Chains A and B, each alone.
Chain A
Amino acid sequence: MSVTYGALIRRATQEVALGSVTLHSEPPNSPEAGRDLLGGYHDLLRALARHTHQLLAPHLQPGSPLPPSPDRAERTALALADELTHLAGRRSLATHRSARANHWRAAALAVGAAGDLLATHADRSGLPRSPDLLGGLASRDVRHDALAHLGDLTATVLGSTDELARRLVQAGLFPSAVRGRLPDSITAEVLARESAQHGGPGIEAGLDELRTARPAIDRTHPLAELGDRMAHLRRYAWAGTQATFPSVDDLKVFAVLGVAVHTHAEAIARRTSTMSGDERLLGDVDGTLMPRSRLWRAVATGLQPWQTAERDHPAVVGHARRVRALLAEVAPIGDQRIGAGVLPARELAQALRAAVQVTDAISVWNAATLDGLPRSRVTMPARALTGDQVTDDPTLTAAKLANRRIEVPRIGYIGLRETYAALSGAVHPRIGLVEPALAAALARSEGHQGFGVEVMQRL
């Protein structure tokens, strides 16, 4: 029985899943095992890049008198292949291949074999050796489906990068060496997601714009990197307001970012409260930082039960995750040092002040995105609605009693909208003032133990 292309890609998919499960259940236990695992991971990235080029090779696309110009989906796939080649780096001649099972290397072998199988259907001049080629790869739809699956596979592999880095350090590799061999993969993640869903609603950003993520981040200094990543997040928050189908997950990520920035800034502000001038962060810890931190937390809690069909934007998640790590490094919460032990207080204060200001801008755009969320059909458990919210609506009352999942009703947006308004400093629609709204919101959220949604809706 001969092996099919589908069976080989299927095998690669299963090996990728086994790679993730094994990384958790049987992590590498020595530097040598760690290097072998890393080698398999890079082999897989190279194999995925090479396979993309094979799918789009002109000599495998007969029927066109001229080399076909790639369309958007194909350009995305080619950009992803370039990015994967960059991430994999040069193949190390010193890579030791142990006898221990390496599922990522097995996946790379399966992807490579699938490419070899394709190559047998045409000769080097582009003439088909089999009728299957004309019926298969000559069809742009068939190529797009294959590229979409490769994108999905790649997104899954890249999703293991953080865990792999952690396990490699635990296995005994130097953190600096691990960082060097596993560079920032946000651009590749964005392209992989775009590639995977080219047939459905895509990420609404131009390809050229997406590729700026890698070169525009200064990673030579943590405060510079913090500023660059916050600037990217600011831009993505604005882009969310333009999205036809916004994602509630992006709003959740921004809310947690708001909590993180304010909590770390609050910790530093308390430590620097005796300083003066530019070295002092903001001074108004109890009046500004802490209340806004709590409001961001209330937003996160209120959004938690909501879901849309639109997933998060990989760049939003990636930058926010990195910002969290940078904040822990430069402005540790439970540490009495000012930050990383060596950072000048004035520069740290400026960076945190700027980060806080970015979250203020983000809150304004997130509020606008919230208004567009109904286009994405947001659902929630009816149980999360309060009695007051359902009392005048028999349909909602029945849904709450039956514990059904429902589309978030208009009344469900009110509390969140008002909390965003309080965060961004907008005038409260009912009270007319910002601070009373803020104070009332906090007074009610303090000590609340129930559904977060209830916190929001009582504001």
Chain B
Amino acid sequence: MTTSWTQPARELASEARGWAGVWTLTYATGLALQRLAAVEGWDDDLTLTYAGLDVALATSELAWADPSEPAQAGPVDLGPLAPLERRAAIGAVLQLLGSDLELLSALVTDPTTSGGRVLSGTRALGLLIGAERSLRASWS
């Protein structure tokens, strides 16, 4: 199942590199979740709202480690969303989150990453894992 977000999400994920890539994927995921949560009747169980908050807090953790990153990375959103695409749209967000988690996991376990970044990245990772788990439960 595809949506108007599927291709932009795929492109974002394939272009993401390093910490700037993680920040872009995380920020885009947070915006996408809030947009989904704002659609009437799509978030009756509050999953999207809660996941959106976790992703927002993860974004701040990443920015805390390097305040210059948000300034360098352009803000990204996935474009307009047609109605009646809830499941497919969440699928696109999960695709973004999956790429984000993979990239971030590699960075925090890289021996060349500085200690401060490892710790803030690990805290962000925990928040993103929580968001991914609840979204996947709501999606399946």
A residues with CB within 8 A of B? 9-10, 13-14, 16-18, 20-21, 24-25, 149, 152-153, 155-156, 159-160, 162-163, 249, 252-253, 256, 259-260, 263, 297-298, 300-301, 304-305, 307, 309, 311-312, 317, 324, 333-334, 379, 381, 383-384, 403-405, 445-452, 455
Interface 9-mer from B5-13, B14-22, B108-116: B108-116
Whether B56 and A156, one on each chain, are in contact in the complex, defined by CB atoms closer than 8 angstroms, is no
Complex partner residue of A452 from B34, B46, B70, CB under 8 angstroms: B34
Chain B positions within 8 Å of A163 at CB level: 126, 129-130
Known contacts A301-B34, A304-B34, A403-B75; is A17 also within 8 Å of B53 by CB?
no
Chain B positions within 8 Å of A13 at CB level: 115, 118-119
Complex partner residue of A153 from B37, B71, B119, CB under 8 angstroms: B119
Chain B positions within 8 Å of A300 at CB level: 34, 37, 49, 52-53
Q: List 18 A-B contacts (CB under 8 A).
A: A17-B118, A20-B122, A21-B125, A24-B101, A156-B122, A159-B123, A159-B126, A163-B129, A249-B60, A252-B56, A297-B37, A297-B38, A297-B49, A304-B34, A307-B70, A311-B60, A384-B75, A452-B34
Complex partner residue of A249 from B44, B56, B126, B129, CB under 8 angstroms: B56
Q: Interface of chain B, helix or strand or loop or mixed?
A: helix
Q: Interface of chain A, helix or strand or loop or mixed?
A: helix
Measured between alpha carbons, how far is A379 from B101 in the docked complex, in Å?
Answer: 25
Chain A positions within 8 Å of B57 at CB level: 249, 252-253, 311-312, 317
Chain B positions within 8 Å of A305 at CB level: 31, 75
Chain B positions within 8 Å of A450 at CB level: 35, 80
Whether B64 and A379, one on each chain, are in contact in the complex, defined by CB atoms closer than 8 angstroms, is no
Measured between alpha carbons, how far is A451 from B30 in the docked complex, in Å?
Answer: 12
Measured between alpha carbons, how far is A25 from B126 in the docked complex, in Å?
Answer: 12
Known contacts A263-B46, A304-B52, A449-B83; is A309 also within 8 Å of B64 by CB?
yes
Chain A positions within 8 Å of B118 at CB level: 13-14, 16-17
Whether A256 and B83, one on each chain, are in contact in the complex, defined by CB atoms closer than 8 angstroms, is no
Measured between alpha carbons, how far is A445 from B38 in the docked complex, in Å?
Answer: 8
Complex partner residue of B119 from A156, A249, A260, A311, CB under 8 angstroms: A156
Chain A positions within 8 Å of B125 at CB level: 20-21, 24
Whether B115 and A307, one on each chain, are in contact in the complex, defined by CB atoms closer than 8 angstroms, is no
Number of residues of chain B lying within 8 A (CB) of chain A: 49
Closest to A200 in B: B64
Measured between alpha carbons, how far is A405 from B20 in the docked complex, in Å?
Answer: 14
Measured between alpha carbons, how far is A159 from B124 in the docked complex, in Å?
Answer: 9
20 additional A-B residue pairs with CB within 8 Å, beyond A14-B109, A300-B37: A13-B118, A20-B122, A21-B125, A24-B105, A152-B116, A152-B119, A155-B123, A156-B123, A159-B122, A159-B127, A256-B49, A256-B53, A260-B49, A263-B46, A297-B37, A300-B49, A304-B56, A305-B31, A311-B60, A447-B40
Measured between alpha carbons, how far is A153 from B122 in the docked complex, in Å?
Answer: 10
Complex partner residue of B67 from A20, A304, A309, A451, CB under 8 angstroms: A309
Measured between alpha carbons, how far is A383 from B79 in the docked complex, in Å?
Answer: 12
Most chain A CB within a 10 A radius of its CB, from B37, B64, B119: B119
Query: Shortest distance in angstroms between A22's beta carbon and chain B's nearest beta carbon?
Result: 10
Whether B35 and A24, one on each chain, are in contact in the complex, defined by CB atoms closer than 8 angstroms, is no
Closest to B81 in A: A449
Chain A positions within 8 Å of B50 at CB level: 256, 324
Most chain B CB within a 10 A radius of its CB, from A25, A256, A451: A256
Closest to A248 in B: B60
Measured between alpha carbons, how far is A152 from B50 in the docked complex, in Å?
Answer: 25
Whether A333 and B45, one on each chain, are in contact in the complex, defined by CB atoms closer than 8 angstroms, is yes
- In order of increasing CB-CB distance, the 9 nearest A-B pairs are A381-B75, A304-B34, A17-B108, A156-B119, A17-B122, A13-B115, A159-B123, A256-B53, A159-B126
Chain A positions within 8 Å of B91 at CB level: none
Closest to B39 in A: A449
Whether A451 and B126, one on each chain, are in contact in the complex, defined by CB atoms closer than 8 angstroms, is no
Measured between alpha carbons, how far is A263 from B122 in the docked complex, in Å?
Answer: 32
Complex partner residue of A17 from B56, B101, B121, B129, CB under 8 angstroms: B121
Chain A positions within 8 Å of B88 at CB level: none
Whether A334 and B37, one on each chain, are in contact in the complex, defined by CB atoms closer than 8 angstroms, is no
Measured between alpha carbons, how far is A162 from B129 in the docked complex, in Å?
Answer: 11
Most chain A CB within a 10 A radius of its CB, from B31, B44, B81: B31
